[in-house]
Chains A and B, each alone.
Chain A
């Protein structure tokens, strides 16, 4: 008995292209299946077909083919019946959590299927034990960390006692230590007999789960279907063909001479009411030519430090110097001319009816002359590789990846000297993220230095000329990627060292 998908095709309402085309796959209980593919390759549509959102919630599309869940055809099952067979964990746990308390969250599905109260309570405790989150049961859901929220969502899903678990990019919002813990958990659940289907952008990291089965989707079709060893070989061959220009050539040398563009001197900061300092004496210089990868676990102080550079937060003690001026004497708007800050989620800033209005918003705010704005926006669009788009187009009609580039262009149009990118790869597939960085490095009139907050060590190794590791509000290492990323002691202190799964588990599943 397995999840058997036969000749599945789907076209969304009001679209002409198929999101899935003739997909035939088999997923087995007790195994982890890793499903990879670029944005728009059909991964999410596949998940929606298995869990029944297609056709139950997306009624107007065209569906062909069949899915058999452990012997039953899904066409004959209601959403309530499907919910007891297949559990789904969506990309952002925060969006999936509907209750104010953890206990109520785990109970939600069980309440909806009308289970008796005593049984609900027993299942809550069983799921909490399985996920080791008994201590969280009375907590407010909005006070949980990303990793904790995800565990709660998985516990709520497992409480329904499904035979299959669908995970849609579960690593997206997790830092490396939490991602590692999550992968261990997925492995354990599969070992306990559940069919785990893991859809993930972060392929290299996801392979640590030792999947028995790997699937690659491309333009809605199955491009690869086989075991992990075969998948690695297939992926290597494909990467080898696509790699245009060695990334290391694009790395620029940092200029050791001259005044730094941005510097932090013994910066301290604590959030009001917090028992410990978020930054405990950070000193850092950002110089011409730098591409710094700022790395560390969630809560290490990376974003707090970056917000100091643009005046969104002010140090309690210490100094931030931006282009030879003390940031304490400058407003956020004045600082924005020198330091550009791109937030992680483009949805936080896009608001205008047209790209022209969106891109000229920043330059206009900082008082750039109208004649220069036009040129600056055109250059910014060119830098992010979107110069083919019409300026009269709405930013809301673009794909997530394009919106992310527009958000970067909106900040680049202000022509900042230093560009800070918060998680530039979040929500993007590896190729798209790398393409964006390549373009920024190649641009002649681009920023003079870039600081990127990232969890992606491979990206840091390819593009950064400096890696700064932070942990507990302090810098624990600062140097070339080779020195820092291979410094096991510093990486362990920053919680970034990716240990393999325990040897026994790895041996059992890797081959």
Chain B
């Protein structure tokens, strides 16, 4: 059985409940339990290591930084709590986000009661992320061809503060293009009668017993988290 075999709505509910519980709970034992649960979800998600290697690298740097800051300015207990929280959140997010089919994003939220336009906006976002990445790459290449160097040669504070200005040759063309393209995209959607009435969704979703079980377990987990906070502090 794979994590994708659960209905996407059940997965979203599980994710929201789990991460909320992680944020609510303070007791270290409960946090260890939630971190183990998140880790289990990630193992169950069977995401290839190659795919998440770089994300984990970034996460580890971030976690090390907040742990160090907590150790410096707060207590070792708080530092451990925050580190556990961050590990649990990262594992849960990777397990759910990396196994989510972008084509199912819209229908998932529509069937959770969100309006048509909001749900389709999510689909559009998923559709245009690869286009945006490609536009960035083309612009970086085009500006490199004009002698632009992305790396900061001067690492002084002033230079780092003006970093926004330095990135203008990359950011501006991509943003201007996205804004101009938005008019064409809105036209294309108008021409196909988007937003003129209630729409049918081609995809269908079916909740099965195991999905109901996951949803029930998710709410139980959330309730447990709130109770732990209340009882254990």
Contacts and interface: CB of A to CB of B under 8 A. Distances in A.
Interface string B65-108: 00000000000000000000000000000000000001100000
Nearest to A337: B147
B202 A349 contact: no
Contacts of A111: 199-202
Given A112-B192, A160-B192, A336 B135 contact: no
A28 to B, nearest CB: 22
A90 B131 CA distance: 17
Contact of A307 (B141, B181, B190): B141
Contacts of B188: 90, 95-96, 98
A150 to B, nearest CB: 13
A347 interface: yes
Contacts of B196: 78-80, 112-113
Given A98-B189, A349-B146, A116 B184 contact: no
Interface stretch (A101-109, A180-188, A276-284, A450-458): A101-109
B124 interface: yes
Interface string A58-97: 0000000000000000000011100110001010101111
A42 to B, nearest CB: 17
Interface residues on B, range: 35 or more
A169 to B, nearest CB: 13
A84 B196 CA distance: 13
A83 B145 contact: no
Given A307-B141, A343-B138, A53 B187 contact: yes
Interface stretch (B10-18, B155-163, B172-180, B218-226): B172-180
Interface stretch (A32-40, A243-251, A358-366, A381-389): A358-366
Contact of B199 (A57, A114, A337, A341): A114
B107 to A, nearest CB: 9
B213 interface: no
Given A109-B192, A109-B193, A365-B147, A142 B142 contact: no
A100 B184 contact: no
A106 to B, nearest CB: 9
Interface in A113-132: 113-117, 120-121
B139 A57 contact: no
B204 interface: yes
Most-contacted residue by chain A among B127, B185, B197 (CB, 10 A):
B127
A52 B131 CA distance: 28
A336 B145 contact: yes
B136 to A, nearest CB: 10
Contacts of B233: none
B127 A141 contact: yes
Contacts of A88: 191
B103 A347 contact: no
B148 interface: yes
A181 to B, nearest CB: 23
Contact of B173 (A79, A340, A348, A414): A348
B147 A53 contact: no
B58 interface: no
B185 A95 contact: yes
Interface residues of A, number: 66
A341 B199 CA distance: 47
B191 A79 contact: yes
Contacts of A113: 193, 196-197
B173 A57 contact: no
A110 B201 CA distance: 9
A45 interface: no
Contact of A312 (B124, B145, B176): B145
A366 B143 CA distance: 12
A396 B176 CA distance: 9
Interface of A: 51-53, 56-57, 78-80, 83-84, 88, 90, 92, 94-101, 103-104, 107-117, 120-121, 141-142, 156, 160, 307, 310, 312, 331-333, 336-337, 340-341, 343, 345, 347-352, 361-362, 365-366, 396, 410-411, 414
30 contacts: A52-B191, A53-B190, A57-B190, A78-B196, A90-B187, A90-B188, A99-B123, A100-B103, A100-B126, A111-B200, A112-B195, A112-B196, A113-B193, A114-B199, A117-B200, A120-B200, A142-B130, A307-B141, A312-B144, A332-B149, A336-B146, A343-B145, A348-B142, A348-B177, A349-B139, A349-B142, A350-B173, A351-B171, A362-B147, A366-B147
Q: What 3 A-B pairs are tightest by C-beta distance, nearest first? A: A365-B147, A109-B192, A351-B172
Given A80-B193, A312-B141, 12 more contacts: A83-B193, A99-B103, A100-B123, A100-B127, A109-B192, A112-B193, A307-B141, A332-B147, A343-B145, A349-B143, A349-B169, A362-B146
